[in-house]
Amino acid sequence: MVNRRPTRITAILADYEGVVGPAIETLPVISNLVRNLNGYVSNVSGVPPEEVATHIKMLLKKHNTDTTSYALVMEYGVSVSEFSETVYGPELPAIRNAIGRDVELHGLMRSARVPIAVLSNNAEAYVRTASDAQGVTPLFVQFLCQESIHPYSKPNVGAYSTALGITKFTQDSHTVFLDDKPLNLVAPKELGLTTVYIGERAVQAGFVESIDFTFPTFKDFLRQLRRQDETTVMLT
């Protein structure tokens, strides 16, 4: 990748869904989540159920976000906790069952030797339930989910600044931010963080400059860190 340079890593800020945990679309409960979401949006907006999908698309564009709950908070003043309880709440046991314990991930996260925090646009109940199921919740120093970063959400720079303020991670290249969406790497790169794209798909030309490193998976990134010298954690 371009922009590649040796960097001593002292903190890791990671997106959750698609980086640490599975993509929500791959979980068997996705159809129930979509049903709950459509019902909730229809209820809040007054838009008939058959028009909800189009309505959500419009709201995401209007509020420059990929996160429906954030768009609903901004548009209708709903609370993230109400959204979370209605949409995710009934499915949390099924989500827990669908995600298996990941002993390898646990070992790799432990071996990172630097604090790791989550920065997610998702609701905290979902993120914690999924990471509990993976067995890695105690390995995060903090969960910064939509509730904590409100009134911002990625890709808005305010989301990252808020996260740095809460975690006290340094605003420089020693803090790594990882996401599976290239758009979410633009603001942290401008803030001076080291950015890592997690994924195997080709990145659109416009985002290449925002990416310092690319790894297929979070585990690959952690393996690279583990291969480094005991005292100096570097990405090279």
Q: Write out the residues near Mg ion by the rule CB under 5 A.
A: 15, 17-18, 180
Measured on CA atoms in the order 231, 232, 235, 236, is the torsion positive or negative?
negative
Shortest reach from residue 156's CB to Mg ion, in Å:
15
Shortest reach from residue 178's CB to Mg ion, in Å:
9
Q: E strands within 5-78?
A: 7-8, 11-14
| Closest to Mg ion by CB, 55 or 181 | 181
Q: Could you tell me the two tokens for 224?
A: 């690279």
Distances (CA, A) of 149 to 41, 183, 202: 22, 18, 29
Nearest residue to Mg ion, scored by beta-carbon proximity:
18
Shortest reach from residue 145's CB to Mg ion, in Å:
12
Shortest reach from residue 210's CB to Mg ion, in Å:
15
Rounded to whole angstroms, the Cα distance separating 119 from 122 reads 9
- Up-side HSE of residue 26: CA atoms within 13 Å toward CB? 7
| Closest to Mg ion by CB, 17 or 212 | 17
Shortest reach from residue 58's CB to Mg ion, in Å:
22
Residues in Cβ contact with 45 at an 8 Å cutoff, skipping those fewer than 6 apart: 52, 55, 75, 76
With H, G, I as helix, E, B as strand and everything else as coil, classify residue 5: coil
Q: Could you tell me the two tokens for 107?
A: 């070992």
| Closest to Mg ion by CB, 78 or 185 | 185
| Closest to Mg ion by CB, 39 or 199 | 199
| Closest to Mg ion by CB, 15 or 212 | 15
